[in-house]
Amino acid sequence: MADETPEYEGATRRDCVKYGGAVVGGGLLAGCTDLGGSDSTPDGEGPTPTGGTDTATESGGSYTVEMAPAGEVAFDEPPERVTHYFPDYADMAVALGHGDSVLSLGLPSRFHTDHYDELDGVDVDTESITKLNGEEGIDKEIFYELDGDVHLIDPRWLVNNTFFGLDEADVEELAGKVAPFVGNTIFRRTDEWHTYRYYDLYGAFEKVARVHQEHGKFTRLKELHDEFIARIQADLPPADDRPNALLTFAAPDQPEAFYPYRVSDQGTNKKQFHDLGITDALAGTGIEGLSTTDRGQIDYETMLEVDPDSVLVRGHEDKSREEFEDTVLAFMRSHETASELTAVEDGRVFRGGPIYAGPLHNLFLTERYAKLYFPEVYSGDLFDRDAVADIVNGGA
């Protein structure tokens, strides 16, 4: 990380043009002086209330968006250049027709975009996305170089991941000299430091829609999503006939050790499993899930003690289903211990999906797992690709 920060005298372009220099919540800009924000109470497991104190107009004029932990942020106009860390938030931007606003991601390789190929006219230029994570963390200077109109990043995520090398003073400086922060870490709920409100996928998506002044698109996508999920759930087998799953991360083609996740965690990347009634194979075992503070692994002997109905292995989203079966599953079938697992014997070992999944990705993931887990019930396209593309592209 560079020792000195470039000096910026006086108000930035963002102060005068994008945010009007508004004083919000007692600070120069929301998120500058109180990273705890006004929503410091955990939200529980249900949907996040929509609306709240946000004020917005899609016909022009200033507006504010409130999101924990940063609190209220005032805008004079929608941002054109957005600094991102999380791919799930980038997928939200694409869903709203603003994929060209995405300047960066923590690790662009984790932004899986194959699903856009099935949506006519929907894509994103991944080659232009800057990688934030470096070998020694995140260089603060990169935020100055990107010069985004807003950081759509949870500031507490940056502060509490010690590998990044950023502290609260750094984030406050960036909020004051470059652009404010809006965002909440939603992909998991296992971090001890996340003591403020959580948002479910569509709760966070609505906030991003308000930032981009695209609440009409959000509403149409949510309606399509809700109808799709209701239709899927109406045809699910009885609860007793649905399998449990052991969700893990293991990137090698011949894995011997696995980082466990908890399917029961309410993080947004488990949404598709919850919607399909897939239960947590680790329930009652005492095995915790991967988090910032827990990096423990399990081996095949431990997995055999659990003997899950199915195993989901993350780290293989760049493979097709057939490629995964020819590598990871083939290795498990030849392994002395792994071959004894019920999931291996039954062929219920699947790619585990991405770590960060936004609203568009979630539609495809729900369809994928509905067909994998219940092939006798679901087949073909389970939602209308043209309808989704029409919304994203601004059709009537």
Per residue in 82-93, pLDDT tens? Answer: 999 999 999 999
Inform me whether the pLDDT recorded for 1 exceeds 50: no
Higher pLDDT, 225 or 33: 225
Would you state the pLDDT for residue 351?
98
- Confidence class for position 190, pLDDT limits 50, 70, 90: confident
Above pLDDT 70, what percent of the chain? 83
Would you state the pLDDT for residue 294?
59
Inform me whether the pLDDT recorded for 392 exceeds 90: yes
Q: Which residue's entry shows tokens 């995520």?
A: 157
Inform me whether the pLDDT recorded for 29 exceeds 90: no
Per-residue pLDDT reduced to its tens digit, 308-354: 999 999 999 999 999 999 999 999 999 999 999 999 999 999 999 99
Q: What is the mean pLDDT of residues 107-123?
A: 96
- Confidence class for position 293, pLDDT limits 50, 70, 90: low
Q: Which residue's entry shows tokens 């399917």?
A: 263
Ranges 14-28, 58-72, 252-266, most confident:
252-266
Inform me whether the pLDDT recorded for 154 exceeds 90: yes
- Confidence class for position 296, pLDDT limits 50, 70, 90: confident
Ranges 24-33, 37-46, 50-59, 386-395, most confident:
386-395
Would you state the pLDDT for residue 241?
94
- Confidence class for position 13, pLDDT limits 50, 70, 90: very low
Would you state the pLDDT for residue 299?
94
Inform me whether the pLDDT recorded for 395 exceeds 60: yes
What is the pTM (predicted TM-score) of this model? 0.86
Per-residue pLDDT reduced to its tens digit, 251-276: 999 999 999 999 999 999 999 999 99
Would you state the pLDDT for residue 288?
75
- Confidence class for position 26, pLDDT limits 50, 70, 90: very low
Inform me whether the pLDDT recorded for 168 exceeds 90: yes
> Domains in the chain, ordered, with CATH?
13-83+103-197 (3.40.50), 236-377 (3.40.50.1980)
Q: What is the mean pLDDT of the chain?
A: 87
Q: What is the mean pLDDT of residues 125-152?
A: 97
Residue 156 CA, chain-centre distance (Å), reads 15
Would you state the pLDDT for residue 243?
97
Q: What is the mean pLDDT of residues 84-106?
A: 98
Per-residue pLDDT reduced to its tens digit, 201-240: 999 999 999 999 999 999 999 999 999 999 999 999 999 9
